[in-house]
Amino acid sequence: MPGKVKLLFFAVLLSAIGIFSYVTYQNRNYESTDDAFIDTDIAQISSQVDGRVVGLAVQDNQLVHKGDLLLHLDRRDGEVKLAQAQAQNATALAQLMQAQAQLAVQTATIAQFAAQLEAAQSDAQQAREDLERYASVDPHAVTRQQIDTARNQARATGARMMSGKSALDAARAQQEVLRAQVQGAEAAMAAAQAQIAQARLTLDYTEIRAPFDGRVTKRAVAVGDVIKIGASLLSLVSPELWVTANFKESQLARIHPGQPVSISVDALPDRTFKAHIDSVQAGTGAVFSALPAENATGNFVKLVQRVPVKIVFEPGQAIELVQVAGLSVVPVVDTATGQTLR
């Protein structure tokens, strides 16, 4: 009997030593946490225009692809605005063409006035030369009437020259006015075209499409609903999955990007998935909370902080089996191998 007791004692002792050794090995070579879950991108789909829903193309949990129609709104208001913008564009175009035609006419008028002024200057020059010749010859060689006629001709041609110059200056000033009108018409044309683009964009917004491949969730809209800009209509969950694991700050010293990770999913107790550490968030979870702790006020009680760590699944696995955001998982990080996958 005493021998059996000794044997039992040694068996218990060896078991305790084995358990202690295993736990020590695990604590030394692995890091784990049960504060971890499946994460993904979730887009809150909303409308960029007000309107009434006239068609719904998807149902709850339906798989859609990028660009697929999710729902569409009544287009009639947008079509009316587009027609108004196109009418304004036509009016602006007509005004622009009229202003350009007036400018072309004025340009031709300036050319005509410039030619007339050149002719008047030539006549005035000729009249001055004639008057100078009459004044330089022997007074007995010309009559008084000839001198008076030459003087009058010089005055008349000089007056015509000054009148032509004034008319040319006025025409050039009017040309500047018409150029300003052309610029104004061009600006009105550009504004009308911008209104057309805006109206077409508004029409495009009446069709709400998927921004990426994903699954429809939390649909909160039905045909006939009148929706406002920014109202959440449904959520779109991306098929790209990863794990967000919140490790204690005391565990971070041995966790580095690239380390291999084994993922156990609570929903699939018989499966494990291979993954690796992608990155460590540059801040604890408390820092990014809606009401971060104010340690500088009141009495301070030290709390162990947790830091989110992103863990990425290795390719070639049946990840679609866990394609439910928020599922609880248990990641086990192999800190002993020192291997890095990236």
What pLDDT was estimated at residue 225?
Answer: 92
pLDDT band at 211 (very low <50, low <70, confident <90, very high): very high
What rounded mean pLDDT belongs to the chain? 81
What pLDDT was estimated at residue 57?
Answer: 93
For residues 308-335, average pLDDT = 90
Higher pLDDT, 317 or 333: 333
For residues 133-139, average pLDDT = 60
Cβ partners under 8 Å of residue 48, min gap 6: 205, 229
Q: Is the per-residue pLDDT at 131 higher than 90?
A: no
What distance in Å separates the CA atoms of residue 136 and residue 304, rounded to the nearest whole number? 118
Q: Is the per-residue pLDDT at 20 higher than 80?
A: no
- Per residue in 218-254, pLDDT tens? 999 999 999 999 889 999 999 999 999 999 988 888 8
Amino acid at 137: V
What pLDDT was estimated at residue 340?
Answer: 40
pLDDT band at 339 (very low <50, low <70, confident <90, very high): very low
- Per residue in 299-312, pLDDT tens? 666 778 899 999 99
Q: What percent of the chain has pLDDT over 70?
A: 72
What pLDDT was estimated at residue 29?
Answer: 79
What pLDDT was estimated at residue 341?
Answer: 36
pLDDT band at 112 (very low <50, low <70, confident <90, very high): confident
What distance in Å separates the CA atoms of residue 20 and residue 129, rounded to the nearest whole number? 129
Q: Is the pTM of this model over 0.75?
A: no
CATH code 1.10.287.620 region(s) in the chain: 76-205
- Regarding the domain delimited by 32-72+217-334, which CATH topology (the fold level of the hierarchy) does it fall under? Elongation Factor Tu (Ef-tu); domain 3 (2.40.30)
283 torsion bin: left (phi>0), alpha (psi -120 to 50), beta (else): left
What pLDDT was estimated at residue 17?
Answer: 60
CATH: 2.130.10.30, 3.30.9.10, 3.40.50.1700, 1.10.287.620. Which one for 76-205? Answer: 1.10.287.620
Terminal C-alpha separation, the chain: 61
224 torsion bin: left (phi>0), alpha (psi -120 to 50), beta (else): left
What distance in Å separates the CA atoms of residue 73 and residue 204, rounded to the nearest whole number? 10
What pLDDT was estimated at residue 139?
Answer: 61
CATH code 2.40.30.170 region(s) in the chain: 32-72+217-334
Q: Which residue has the tokens 């009316």?
A: 80
For residues 135-155, average pLDDT = 61
- Per residue in 168-189, pLDDT tens? 677 777 778 878 888 888 898 8
What pLDDT was estimated at residue 110?
Answer: 75
Order of strands across the sheet that contains 226-227: 207-209, 69-73, 51-56, 226-227
For Cα atoms 287, 290, 293, give the angle at the middle one, nearest 5 degrees: 50
What pLDDT was estimated at residue 320?
Answer: 79
Nearest in space to 307 (alpha carbons), one of 288, 285, 329, 335 = 285
- Per residue in 61-80, pLDDT tens? 999 999 999 999 999 988 99
Q: Is the per-residue pLDDT at 48 higher than 80?
A: yes
pLDDT band at 199 (very low <50, low <70, confident <90, very high): very high
